[in-house]
A and B are shown apart, each in its own frame.
Chain A
Amino acid sequence: MKTLPVFRRHKTEAHKPPADKDLNYSSQWSLIFIKFKKHKLARISMYVLGFLYTIALFAQFIAPYSLQSYDSKYVNAPPMTLRFVDGDGKFHIQPFVYELKSDRDPDTMRKIFVANKEKRYSLQLFAKGEKYKFLGLISTDRHLFGVEQPGRLFMLGTDSMGRDMFSRIVLGSQISLSIPLVGVAISFVLGIFIGGISGYFGGWIDSLIQRIIEIIRSFPTLPLWMALSAAIPPRIPIVTMYLYIVIIFAFIGWTDLARVVRGKFISLKNEDYVIAAKIAGVGNTKIILKHLLPGFLSYLVVATTLAIPHMIIGETAMSFLGLGIRSPATSWGVLLQEAQKIENVALYPWKLIPLGVVIMTVLAYNFLGDGLRDAADPYKK
């Protein structure tokens, strides 16, 4: 008598196949995951992105200053250095910064900042600062770090209004990192829906949708953005503005996905296993959900991941041109507006730091997308 096979999913205790080594029991998704784990660059990128998004989530807590805060005494101040050893060679366990004093360069008469070695302000964890709402819920005035009052801490320098760059990069990441996600999510839904109709029904409706996509795609994007953002009334709440910008991006972004979805629908519709299911008497809805969608979901994940960096750059470009988010709200593109002037780049190079953050994020997304694509490709070892 043979032992009866057990049909429960192998996740249950009843029947556990040899832990993760046995690829024979692995579904498509777990195979993709196993391959993805082997892709070093993609894994590092994932950690980098995870780190950035964690920062964005807790931005108000991490940033020492709020969006509204500025200080005309410290305009265009350079990044401060944290010190452990003071002028007398004495070592302090608690790092500290010197007070910045504004002065004139004796040669050029340009305004410069020098460290006032008389006054030390030590760095504090959970320092008291401006009031804010933690995660939008708990009202508090504690920030992750800061210096003793009335000292000021500018880790990455200040801009032309004396606002702390570090705080603004951290707070700007909330917008710069979430706009692409929301935009891609909207274009994802639109793309699957419209592309699905186009691919599944075919015929004249397919031709119509494809022509519309071609028309949308043939618009030069920059003038289109300018036109659309000119249509946004200037004095509206930031949340509404944010929504409008996301919609502008999704309006163009969905066309890419719709094409991918359409192509996949057409090719999978005629796969033998789909016809087999049809012959077996499986209904249309079930065929779409069980055979067609899983067949290209991995491609969609990849396509989406690779679409995000485009949106980040798009948002940055739009804000850079002054078309997107406007002060006092901020995004990385708004921060880069100051880098438009050559004097800023030449004299205050720390104003280019947001550029580095943008590049890092976009690269991380691209590497992540590459890793996912390689993992989802069944022919790649």
Chain B
Amino acid sequence: MTKPILDVVSLNKDFQVKSKKALFAKPNHVRVLDDISFELYEGETLSIVGESGCGKTTLGRCIVKGVSASSGEVNYYTDQDERVNFLKLKGKEAKRLRRDIQMIFQDPYSSLSPRMSVFDIISEPLVANFKLKRSEVEAKVTEIAEKTGLNASYLMRYPHAFSGGQRQRIAIARALITQPRLIVCDEAVSALDVSIQAQIINLLKDLQEQFKITYIFISHDLSIVQNISDRVAVMHLGRIVELATTESLFGDPKHPYTEALMSAVPQPDPEAQKSRIILEGEVPNPANPPSGCHFHPRCAYRTEKCSQQAPELREVGENHFVACHYAEQLNLRGVQHD
């Protein structure tokens, strides 16, 4: 668990926004990812949670180079323990890493090309990255299909013939076929219904054990996150505000935003006292973020300092990082366990 597989160093991503003020005015930028840094250890599951629009998906896509980051590094440790900046790599070297880093998308309806048969979809990364004979490709695809619970005799069908859960299995099979070491799951189960969610989560867990895969699990569903992850990072408006092991984050949150998130976790016990923290105000506009701590306009514990100074992400306990000036003083509520 201590060997890193990936580290992200001050990753930034700006999106251009069209300025409406004047024809030739300089375009405005929205900072979607703001100085993101974290480490990822081999074999672990790191969840990234946060409300809609906080940059979770963009972070995932920047890591796999699905979109290009504006600045920063995504360093990847190869099998030979070389540390290479994935974002800077070009041509063949970048392509060699592609097979190690794969992604599963949120919507299994839009992530599978409707014009390709399932066999072609699953084999695509394999054909793109390796020079294999047709028979070898067939053998591999069959093997993966069986591992992911797909009936191998349906492989010549087209995606429209499958249900959402089956489609997500196809997407997982595609991500697995090159035997990657890291898979970014971008809301991989949120488009599925609950019973299918459980199946897919169990499948992901089994595959992790079997192949020693590292997951970055992007989600807004905290109960799933609690179930699946080793560590959790909480994002708010493009910044990581808290990063800790699952237990300490859920049991002992140090950031007021995390506390508010935790209070939204549904409790299975109907007798339990429900005291949701309803955040005041609205999500700040990312094009014009608040000064200092981005969370301060909605924070119940804010002081003058919060609006002036942005807090650094600092270690407050063992493996527990928080970006709050008053992390030590505050006594926050986590999720109650029986």
Which residues of A come within 8 Å of B, CB atoms?
2-5, 7, 9-10, 15, 17, 23-28, 31, 271-273, 275-283, 286, 290-291, 294-295, 378
In contact, A280 and B152 (Cβ under 8 angstroms)? no
In the bound complex, residues from chain A placing their C-beta under 8 Å from that of B115 are: 27-28, 294-295
Other-chain contact of B158, A28, A271, A279, A283 (Cβ < 8 Å): A28
Which residues of B come within 8 Å of A, CB atoms?
61, 64-66, 95, 98-99, 101-103, 105-107, 110-117, 119, 124-125, 128-129, 134, 138, 141-142, 152-158, 160-161, 171, 174, 178
In contact, B95 and A281 (Cβ under 8 angstroms)? yes
Q: Shortest CB–CB separation between residue B328 and chain A, in angstroms? A: 41
A23-B161, A277-B124 known; A271+B110 contact, CB < 8 A: yes
Q: Shortest CB–CB separation between residue A181 and chain B, in angstroms? A: 27
In contact, A280 and B110 (Cβ under 8 angstroms)? no
Other-chain contact of B128, A15, A271, A283, A294 (Cβ < 8 Å): A283
In contact, A291 and B113 (Cβ under 8 angstroms)? yes
Q: CA of A276 to CA of B129 in the docked complex: distance in angstroms? A: 14
Q: CA of A291 to CA of B110 in the docked complex: distance in angstroms? A: 12
Q: CA of A9 to CA of B157 in the docked complex: distance in angstroms? A: 10
Smallest Cβ-Cβ distance to B139: which chain A residue: A4
In contact, A7 and B138 (Cβ under 8 angstroms)? yes
Other-chain contact of A272, B95, B105, B141, B154 (Cβ < 8 Å): B105
In the bound complex, residues from chain A placing their C-beta under 8 Å from that of B61 are: 275
Q: CA of A282 to CA of B129 in the docked complex: distance in angstroms? A: 8
Q: Shortest CB–CB separation between residue B145 and chain A, in angstroms? A: 9
In the bound complex, residues from chain A placing their C-beta under 8 Å from that of B113 are: 273, 277, 291, 295
In the bound complex, residues from chain B placing their C-beta under 8 Å from that of A27 are: 115, 117, 158
- Taking A25-B161, A275-B61, A378-B114 as known contacts, 10 extra A-B pairs with beta carbons closer than 8 A to each other, sorted by chain A number, are A5-B152, A5-B153, A5-B155, A15-B156, A276-B171, A280-B124, A280-B125, A281-B98, A283-B128, A295-B115
Q: Shortest CB–CB separation between residue B229 and chain A, in angstroms? A: 22
Q: CA of A338 to CA of B111 in the docked complex: distance in angstroms? A: 59
In contact, A276 and B105 (Cβ under 8 angstroms)? yes
A273-B112, A295-B115 known; A279+B64 contact, CB < 8 A: yes
A273-B111, A281-B99 known; A24+B157 contact, CB < 8 A: yes
Q: Shortest CB–CB separation between residue B113 and chain A, in angstroms? A: 4
Smallest Cβ-Cβ distance to A7: which chain B residue: B138
A273-B112, A273-B113 known; A279+B65 contact, CB < 8 A: yes
Smallest Cβ-Cβ distance to A23: which chain B residue: B161
In contact, A280 and B158 (Cβ under 8 angstroms)? no
Count of CB-CB pairs between chains A and B under 8 Å: 90
Other-chain contact of B102, A9, A25, A279, A378 (Cβ < 8 Å): A279
In the bound complex, residues from chain A placing their C-beta under 8 Å from that of B106 are: 272
Smallest Cβ-Cβ distance to B108: which chain A residue: A272
Which residue of B95, B112, B117, B158 has the most chain A CB atoms within 10 A of its CB atom? B158
In the bound complex, residues from chain B placing their C-beta under 8 Å from that of A291 are: 113
Other-chain contact of B110, A23, A24, A25, A272 (Cβ < 8 Å): A272
Q: Shortest CB–CB separation between residue A91 and chain B, in angstroms? A: 62
Which residue of B66, B112, B142, B178 has the most chain A CB atoms within 10 A of its CB atom? B66
Q: Shortest CB–CB separation between residue A278 and chain B, in angstroms? A: 6
A5-B153, A27-B158 known; A280+B102 contact, CB < 8 A: yes
Q: Shortest CB–CB separation between residue A43 and chain B, in angstroms? A: 24
In the bound complex, residues from chain B placing their C-beta under 8 Å from that of A282 are: 124-125, 128
In the bound complex, residues from chain B placing their C-beta under 8 Å from that of A279 are: 64-66, 98, 101-103
In contact, B65 and A7 (Cβ under 8 angstroms)? no
Q: Shortest CB–CB separation between residue B141 and chain A, in angstroms? A: 8
Q: Shortest CB–CB separation between residue B193 and chain A, in angstroms? A: 20
In the bound complex, residues from chain B placing their C-beta under 8 Å from that of A277 are: 113, 124, 128
A280-B128, A281-B125 known; A7+B119 contact, CB < 8 A: yes
Q: Shortest CB–CB separation between residue A270 and chain B, in angstroms? A: 9
A5-B142, A272-B110, A273-B112 known; A278+B66 contact, CB < 8 A: yes
In the bound complex, residues from chain B placing their C-beta under 8 Å from that of A278 are: 66
In the bound complex, residues from chain A placing their C-beta under 8 Å from that of B98 are: 279-281
Q: Shortest CB–CB separation between residue A238 and chain B, in angstroms? A: 43
Q: Shortest CB–CB separation between residue A67 and chain B, in angstroms? A: 47
| Nearest 6 interchain pairs by C-beta | A281-B98, A280-B125, A24-B161, A272-B111, A5-B152, A273-B113
Other-chain contact of A2, B125, B152, B158, B178 (Cβ < 8 Å): B152
A-B contact pairs, 9 of them (CB 8 A): A4-B142, A7-B141, A17-B156, A272-B111, A273-B112, A275-B105, A279-B64, A279-B65, A281-B129
Smallest Cβ-Cβ distance to B152: which chain A residue: A5
Q: CA of A294 to CA of B119 in the docked complex: distance in angstroms? A: 17
Q: CA of A295 to CA of B158 in the docked complex: distance in angstroms? A: 15
In the bound complex, residues from chain A placing their C-beta under 8 Å from that of B129 are: 280-281
In the bound complex, residues from chain A placing their C-beta under 8 Å from that of B116 are: 290
Q: CA of A273 to CA of B66 in the docked complex: distance in angstroms? A: 11
Q: CA of A9 to CA of B156 in the docked complex: distance in angstroms? A: 8
In the bound complex, residues from chain B placing their C-beta under 8 Å from that of A17 are: 156
In contact, B156 and A10 (Cβ under 8 angstroms)? yes
A5-B142, A275-B66 known; A280+B157 contact, CB < 8 A: no
Other-chain contact of B103, A28, A276, A294, A295 (Cβ < 8 Å): A276
In the bound complex, residues from chain A placing their C-beta under 8 Å from that of B142 are: 4-5
Q: CA of A290 to CA of B124 in the docked complex: distance in angstroms? A: 11
In the bound complex, residues from chain B placing their C-beta under 8 Å from that of A24 are: 154, 157-158, 160-161
In the bound complex, residues from chain B placing their C-beta under 8 Å from that of A7 are: 119, 134, 138, 141, 155-156
